[in-house]
Amino acid sequence: MSKKLYIETVGCQMNMLDSELVVADLRRQGYELVDAPGPADLVLFNTCSVRAHAEEKIYSALGRLKNAKKQSPNKIIGVIGCMAQNHQQAVFKRAPYVDLVVGPGQLHQIPQLVEKIGAGAGQQLEVSLDRKGGARGDVERSFESYDPLRDEAMRPSRYQAFVRIMIGCDKFCTYCIVPKVRGPEQSRSPQQIISEVRKLADEGCREITLLGQTVNSYKYAEGERTTRLSDLMLQLHDVSGIDRIKFVTSFPKDMTQDLLEAVRDLPKCSHYLHVPAQSGSNEQLKRMKRLYTVEEYREMHQRIKATIPDSAVTSDFIVGFCGETEEDFAKTMALVEECRFKNSYIFKYSPREGTKADELWTDDVPDEVKRRRNNELLAVQNRISYEDNQPFIGRQVTILVEGLSDHARKHEEHSHGDDEPHAPHGDGVDHMHGQVQLVGRTNCDRIVVFNGNPRQIGQMLPVTVYDANSFTLFGEAVTSHVGPEVYTLGVGS
Ligand code: 5AD
Ligand code: SF4
């Protein structure tokens, strides 16, 4: 009988990719995925350390498993990813019934460690060296990029995939734990990346998202030749079957003109750039050690818009960072007004032990002030998102259809094992015509919801937009007169 694996993932896309790969690895060991921890023989938490809240939630989830472990001592419980690297032995101290702690640079060891624990070897800990735990080369080698064989069945979507092009971060923004827990910046070789993308394309994948903490800092040197992200994109553009290429997250200072021109000139490149500003105040940017001024960010933003006029730029902001005054915050509000981001992810500052900011300054902005600033910034951003979505009404856009909308998916889950007749309207599924509510994204990453046929999932499809709010465009599939080839409309080869 196969063993059962339950995995819970929090955090960024890098974690989502890591989980996909860990599951693929464990499936080869005979594990089958289940959707609750109760029946699982192995329970894994793939964790995030960017904010304290994410770590606390994991400890709560572990707390809820304490009794289950008492009742089934053979159940293996593991903490993997950033919090494992951050807390190391302390995870065992706080939750002594945890069996396994594995950092993001050691994920390849999981199958063998699980086997060891199963054989009675007791608690296992595998983490990478601290950033100052050895010479640069030794620390680099202790953070191994985790790129085992991919398993088509384990991808969240058949038509989309994340592809890691680099690991780690060398920027050391003063608030950020990532350089500590994910180690030194290291780029993967173009050959490895290209062969991974070719394999994905052979399996039917149509969209790839290249991942890196500072993805546009990608640089791979081989003898005389250095490959930059723009060069890599050019090579990936030749992979037939792939229709769309995105990359996240970009660092403002590394947004070079060659890259912007590659995005403009390569038809498969999504016109979507996630380039976090973090703050609109020079004093704060300096404290954050972001390595640019507001003027430089603004100049970069103008350059993006001048080079790729229809591009959508998104940002991250931290509110309530140490010493942030009302004046500083007003400057952040002004930057959002000026840049009119497609959307912004806004976070309340959360001090992280082991960062420069935590060492040097007190977390002096009260939580209610952080909350108010968060809400105010979000309100401005939502208004801008709403306004900038309105001109799409009446326009035709080409979307990659990703799958059922949240609404339709919930309905599907709800209807499993349910013999009751379904309401004909308002449930996301039109039973008369076999239509379901589908969701896709435009070339500039805007979400479009429309009624269509599940067969359209994975296709590039023209849709006419008839309504829009801050987050979503509502569309109607363009059909008839153009002929069936319109459904397979692709870009490039
Ligand atoms: N507190 C709050 N937000 C943070 N981020 C990174 N570190 C912290 C922190 N200590 C945010 C940044 C980053 C995003 C992924 O998380 O905005 O871009
Ligand atoms: Fe953290 Fe800054 Fe690196 Fe982004 S660039 S991961 S915010 S240290």
Task: Report residue 367's pLDDT band, with 50, 70 and 90 as the boundaries.
Answer: very high
Q: Which two tokens stand for residue 243?
A: 């229709």
Residues in contact with 485: Cβ distance below 8 Å, sequence separation at least 6, in sequence order: none
Alpha-helical runs (H) found in 81-217: 82-87, 89-94, 110-118, 136-142, 178-182, 190-202
State the pLDDT at residue 164: 97
Q: What secondary structure letter does DSSP report for 38?
A: T
CA of 245 to the centre of ligand 2 (A): 23
| Least reliable range by pLDDT among 312-316, 414-418, 465-469 | 414-418
Minimum mean pLDDT range among 226-235, 379-388, 392-401, 406-415: 406-415
Choice from 49, 50, 56, 279 to test ligand 1 binding pocket (greatest atom count within 8 A of CB):
50
- Among all bound ligands, the one having the nearest atom to the CA of 276 is 1
DSSP 131: T
Q: Which atom of ligand 2 is nearest to the CA of 290?
A: 2
User: 249 C-alpha vs ligand 2 centroid, how far in Å?
Assistant: 9
Is 346 in contact with 299 (CB distance < 8 Å)?
no
* Mean pLDDT to the nearest integer, 134-140: 97
- Residue 374 phi, psi dihedral angles, 5° rounding: -55, -50
Q: Which of 290, 291, 292, 167 is nearest to 220 (CA)?
A: 167
pLDDT at 206 over 70: yes
The finding on whether 171 has its CB within 6 A of some atom of ligand 2 is yes
pLDDT score of 433: 64
- Closest ligand by atom to 358 CA: 1
C-alpha 248 to ligand 1 mean position (Å): 15
Are 334 and 381 within 8 A, CB to CB?
Answer: no
As given in the structure block, the two tokens for residue 261 are 């021109």
pLDDT at 414: 67
Angle at 50 between CA 45 and CA 55, to 5 degrees: 40
Residue 216 near residue 250 (C-beta atoms within 8 A): yes
Contact status, residue 451 vs residue 430, Cβ threshold 8 Å: yes
Which pLDDT band, with edges at 50, 70 and 90, does 410 fall under? Answer: confident
In terms of Cα–Cα distance, which of 434, 286, 426 is closest to 360? 286
Better-scored residue on pLDDT, 486 or 137: 137
Q: Is it the case that residue 63 has pLDDT exceeding 70?
A: yes
pLDDT of residue 151: 84
Q: What is the mean pLDDT of residues 282-301?
A: 98
347 close to ligand 1 (CB < 6 Angstrom): yes
Scanning the structure block, which residue is given the tokens 């069945």? 153
Question: Within 13 A of 484's CA, how many CA atoms are on the CB side?
Answer: 2
pLDDT above 50: residue 452: yes
Ligand at minimal distance from the CA of 166 is 2
Q: Are 249 and 214 in contact (CB under 8 A)?
A: yes
Residues 6+ apart with CB under 8 A from 35: 6
Which residue's CA is the nearest one to ligand 2's atom 4? 213
Residue 153 has pLDDT above 50, yes or no: yes
Question: Residue 422: CB partners within 8 Å, gap ≥ 6?
Answer: 415, 429, 431
Euclidean distance between CA atoms 338 and 350, whole angstroms: 27
- DSSP tally for the chain: helices H, then strands E: 17, 22
Question: Would you say residue 32 has pLDDT above 60?
Answer: yes
Q: Please tell me if the CB atom of residue 321 comes closer than 6 angstroms to any atom of ligand 2.
A: no
Ligand nearest to the CA of 251: 2
- Which of the pair, 484 or 121, is modelled with greater confidence? 121
Q: According to the model, what pLDDT value does residue 434 have? A: 76
Q: How far apart are CA 225 and CA 66, in angstroms?
A: 54
Q: Which of 145, 153, 114 is nearest to 20 (CA)?
A: 153
Least Cα distance to 450 among 411, 391, 399 occurs for: 399
Query: What's the whole-number mean pLDDT along residues 231-236?
Result: 98
**Domains of the chain, first to last:** 3-139 (3.40.50.12160), 147-388 (3.80.30.20), 393-477 (no CATH)
Question: 316 CB under 6 A from ligand 1?
Answer: yes
The protein residue whose alpha carbon is closest to atom 6 in ligand 1 is: 176
With the most atoms of ligand 1 within 8 angstroms of its CB, the residue from 83, 316, 370 to mutate is 316
Which residues have CB under 8 Å from 255's CB, separation 6+?
216, 273, 275, 300, 303, 304
- Per-residue pLDDT, averaged over 468-477, amounts to 97
Q: For residue 234, what pLDDT is reported?
A: 98
Q: Which residues contact 13 (CB under 8 A, 6 or more apart)?
A: 162, 209, 211, 248
